[in-house]
């Protein structure tokens, strides 16, 4: 008899053959026995209970009962041709209908026989009716699987009789072929510690469960394994990285830092800011290289933390750079930091796409000979020409706008890799952070500076537009300013721009010169034009700024107290939250007004309700994750990491934490996984290819 292993190509499985193998490859990415073994059902039909016909609830999705065939006939013609049968138990009569495969069904029906019938019921002429039921001859009480697995199939597979049932037959044949050739993947110790069933039982249990309980136990074991190995890969990269790279030692808290902290800092740091600065200090003290993600809601004060970290680098003889995703933001950082620092011995420069060639030259030279301490900029900062004398710290602001590639470019700007601090105002749910950014350490600023009034968020339908205008008038009369944001998405860019301009004209009629001035800002303007418009708004010359989401990141105008978001239903939650974060930066009460059409999808409604209910970015991120699933979230360029088969990052948080803690524990005790009991883990890692970023870098 032939020996099969997990690596055997799927074509060798009984019942497959070359033609089906090809389609299985193409449609399901099933190439080997192993792939099919891990092709899980996505749900089960509960075949454990039988109903009586008079008890069938037509609102339930699936029902099973035993009944005798009374009669059947073909009705209608051509398109309406159908096979109608009636079955009877001791409580009543039900109707069964087929529109397809009529001939085949007809051939297999025997009047007078008892069948087990399963399907989704509806009410037709006051009678229970089931179309295309599953039927088997009744053979006694121990019939078939209690929980029937349902596998995802495709049209092409179905043509080759590989519908869910067909796939189930293959899996069945797979188990006979493999016999006991399925090896355990987790160490005994872990199985015992977490009360996990062994792998062969779990795989059998998920494909052919005996009862609901065995589905649960199998799922638990397989989800744990999935999350555990994912964390093992992520943390392995991190451990390897720490062993391989040394970072600049930032031992001294010197003049620049102290002077700023004691004399220039215009406010008290929040406790959260202090804590994060301590975490960074600890990271950079001993010559390890820091890779830290700083999460903090909009307005939580990340910039000060960035600045103080840069001063720390300078105090230790290093240069620092800060990269922002847009020119406006880079300029604002530059101006803001200059102001905070005052006339200092710190020299700081701005490098963006619109800096002139000859000025660039000066900057390039200053960076190389060490005259410049701090460089602020956009992507321009990544160019090869930009070389530092001694870069000790690189900071990325609004990191979700950048990819891993860009992180890695910054990292290569020094022979000893600089410390990296990446900042984001798009809070990422913990589970996602542990996975997506599992290779980074994470700091969180979870506290807003004192004295901020929470932004009040209102959801208006189109018919309340006049009321909205009234609110704007009131606010402007108090000397405040207003943003009005329109959606802009690439596919409908032209149309959206028209809307934006029409919106501006409309506003200008409502808010006419000379009392009011309306400005406009969008991505198609040149940097000079944008700067001009932004400056007019910053200086208070315009009261209303009509804009696209170019203002989404980072822009800081404390006097702006109202954010109107037009067509708010077209924005995702995290974007809405970002936009709202542009107001509420001053001492006054601020407002965010979400304008939508009347009729909204369920999801849009939840988005609006969430925005109105809370200003907590983490709560919003959790809701977003639940609504959209992890794959879609912004900042998930590495979303391959998130393609989990069973585990769900939105709902399996506790399990993920458990798995991650276990992995951390293992690496602490045995960083190289050299011990005998970790041999399974070692061999897993040597087999797996995997990238979340650092490999590209190191």
With CA atoms as reference, report the closest residue to 655 among 435, 446, 437, 439.
435
CA distances from 683 to 130, 229, 309 (A): 52, 12, 41
Nearest to Mg ion of 290, 324 (CB atom): 324
With CA atoms as reference, report the closest residue to 622 among 422, 492, 433, 368.
433
332 binds ligand ADP (CB under 6 A): no
350 binds ligand ADP (CB under 6 A): no
443 binds ligand ADP (CB under 6 A): no
The answer to whether the beta carbons of residues 519 and 531 sit under 8 Å apart is: no
149-188 positions binding ligand ADP, by CB under 6 A: none
Q: How does DSSP assign 105-126, residue by residue?
A: HHHH--TT-EEEEEE-EEEETT
Nearest to ligand ADP of 228, 437 (CB atom): 437
d(CA 403, CA 414): 19
Picked from Mg ion, ligand ADP, none, the partner binding residue 392 (CB below 5 to 8 A depending on kind) is none
Q: How far is the CB of 436 from Mg ion (least distance, A)?
A: 20
Exactly one of 248, 418, 554, 581 binds Mg ion (CB under 5 A); which one? 554
Q: How far is the CB of 588 from ligand ADP (least distance, A)?
A: 14
Nearest to Mg ion of 396, 593 (CB atom): 396
CA R_g for the chain: 32
Cα-Cα-Cα-Cα dihedral of 34, 35, 36, 37, to 10°?
Answer: 50
Picked from ligand ADP, Mg ion, none, the partner binding residue 296 (CB below 5 to 8 A depending on kind) is ligand ADP
**Which runs of E-coded beta strand occur in 352-485?**
374-377, 391-396, 419-424, 441-445, 456-461, 481-485
Q: How far is the CB of 318 from Mg ion (least distance, A)?
A: 23
- The Cβ of residue 100 has, within 10 Å, a number of other Cβ atoms equal to 12
The answer to whether the beta carbons of residues 257 and 284 sit under 8 Å apart is: no
Piece of the chain touching ligand ADP by CB under 6 A; list 153-161, 267-275, 373-381, 616-624: 267-275
Exactly one of 148, 231, 270, 678 binds ligand ADP (CB under 6 A); which one? 270
Please report where in the chains the tokens 């397809």 appear, as a residue.
100
The answer to whether the beta carbons of residues 412 and 300 sit under 8 Å apart is: no
Nearest to ligand ADP of 336, 370 (CB atom): 336
Nearest to Mg ion of 352, 431 (CB atom): 352
Picked from Mg ion, ligand ADP, none, the partner binding residue 71 (CB below 5 to 8 A depending on kind) is none
Q: How far is the CB of 498 from Mg ion (least distance, A)?
A: 31
Q: How far is the CB of 188 from ligand ADP (least distance, A)?
A: 48
326 binds ligand ADP (CB under 6 A): no
- As to burial, measured by CB atoms within 10 angstroms (0-12 exposed, 13-18 middle, 19+ buried), residue 120 is middle
Nearest to ligand ADP of 157, 425 (CB atom): 425
Piece of the chain touching ligand ADP by CB under 6 A; list 203-211, 243-251, 296-304, 312-320: 296-304
With CA atoms as reference, report the closest residue to 558 among 587, 578, 531, 579.
587
304 binds ligand ADP (CB under 6 A): yes
Nearest to ligand ADP of 559, 653 (CB atom): 559
DSSP state of 103: H
Is the peptide bond prior to 189 cis by the omega test (within 30 degrees of 0)?
no
Q: How far is the CB of 6 from ligand ADP (least distance, A)?
A: 50
Which residues lie near ligand ADP (CB under 6 A)? 267-270, 273, 296, 298-304, 425, 449, 556, 585
Which residues lie near Mg ion (CB under 5 A)? 554
């Amino acid at each position: 008899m032939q020996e099969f292993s997990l690596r055997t190509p799927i074509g060798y499985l009984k019942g497959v053959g070359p033609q089906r193998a090809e389609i299985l490859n193409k449609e399901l990415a099933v190439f080997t026995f192993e792939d099919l073994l891990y092709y899980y059902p996505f749900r089960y039909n509960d075949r454990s209970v039988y109903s009586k016909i008079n008890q069938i609830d037509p609102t339930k999705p699936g029902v099973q009962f035993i009944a005798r065939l009374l009669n059947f006939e073909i009705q209608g013609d051509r398109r309406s041709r159908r096979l109608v049968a009636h079955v009877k138990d001791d409580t009543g009569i039900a109707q069964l209908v087929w529109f397809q495969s009529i001939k085949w069904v007809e051939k297999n029906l025997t009047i007078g026989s008892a069948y087990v019938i399963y399907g989704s019921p509806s009410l037709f002429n006051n009678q229970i009716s089931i179309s295309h039921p599953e039927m088997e001859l009744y053979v006694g009480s121990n019939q078939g699987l209690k929980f029937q697995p349902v596998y995802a199939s495709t049209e092409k597979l179905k043509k080759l009789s590989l519908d869910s049932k067909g796939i189930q037959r293959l899996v069945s044949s797979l188990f006979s072929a493999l016999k006991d050739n399925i090896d355990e993947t987790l160490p005994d110790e872990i199985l015992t510690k977490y009360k996990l069933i062994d792998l062969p039982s779990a795989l059998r249990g998920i494909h052919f469960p005996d009862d609901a309980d065995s589905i649960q136990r199998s799922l638990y074991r397989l989800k744990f394994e999935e999350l555990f190995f994912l964390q093992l890969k992520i943390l392995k990269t991190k451990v390897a990285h720490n062993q391989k790279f040394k970072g600049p030692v930032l031992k001294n808290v010197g003049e620049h830092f102290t002077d700023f902290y004691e004399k220039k800092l215009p406010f008290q740091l929040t406790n959260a800011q202090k804590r994060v600065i301590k975490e960074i200090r600890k990271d950079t003290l001993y010559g390890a290289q820091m890779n830290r993600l700083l999460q903090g809601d909009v307005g939580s004060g990340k910039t000060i933390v960035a600045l103080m970290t840069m001063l720390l680098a300078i105090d230790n003889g290093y240069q620092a750079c800060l990269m922002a995703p847009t020119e406006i933001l880079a300029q604002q950082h530059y101006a803001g930091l200059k102001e905070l620092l005052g006339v200092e011995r710190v020299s700081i420069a701005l490098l963006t796409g619109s800096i002139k060639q000859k000025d660039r030259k000066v900057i390039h030279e200053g960076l190389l000979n060490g005259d410049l301490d701090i460089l602020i900029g956009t992507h321009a900062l990544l160019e090869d020409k930009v070389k530092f004398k001694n870069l000790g710290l690189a900071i990325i602001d609004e990191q979700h706008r950048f990819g891993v590639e860009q992180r890695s470019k910054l990292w290569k700007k020094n022979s000893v890799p600089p410390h990296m601090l990446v900042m984001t105002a798009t809070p990422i749910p913990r589970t996602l952070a542990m996975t997506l950014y599992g290779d980074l350490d994470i700091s969180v600023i979870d506290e807003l500076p004192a004295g901020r009034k929470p932004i009040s968020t209102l959801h208006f339908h189109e018919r309340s537009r006049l009321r909205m205008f009234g609110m704007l008038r009131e606010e402007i009369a108090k000397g405040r300013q207003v943003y009005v944001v329109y959606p802009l998405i690439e596919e409908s860019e032209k149309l959206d721009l028209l809307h934006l301009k029409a919106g501006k004209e409309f506003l200008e009629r409502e808010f006419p010169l000379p009392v009011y001035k309306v400005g406009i800002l969008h991505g198609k303007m040149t940097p000079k034009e944008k700067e001009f418009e932004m400056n007019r708004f910053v200086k208070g010359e315009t009261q209303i700024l009509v804009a696209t989401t170019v203002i989404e990141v980072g822009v800081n105008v404390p006097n702006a107290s109202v954010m109107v978001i037009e067509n708010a239903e077209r924005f995702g939650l995290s974007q809405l939250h970002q936009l709202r974060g542009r107001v509420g930066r001053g001492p006054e009460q601020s407002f965010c007004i979400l304008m939508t059409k009347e009729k909204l999808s369920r999801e849009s409604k939840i988005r609006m309700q969430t925005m109105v209910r809370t200003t907590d970015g983490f709560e919003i991120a959790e809701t977003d994750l639940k609504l959209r699933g992890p794959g879609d979230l912004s900042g998930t360029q590495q979303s391959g990491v998130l393609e989990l088969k069973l585990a769900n990052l939105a709902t399996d948080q506790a399990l993920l934490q458990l798995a991650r803690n276990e992995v951390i524990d293992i690496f602490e005790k045995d960083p190289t996984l050299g011990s005998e009991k970790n041999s399974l883990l070692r061999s897993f890692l040597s087999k797996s290819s995997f990238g979340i970023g650092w490999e590209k870098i190191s």
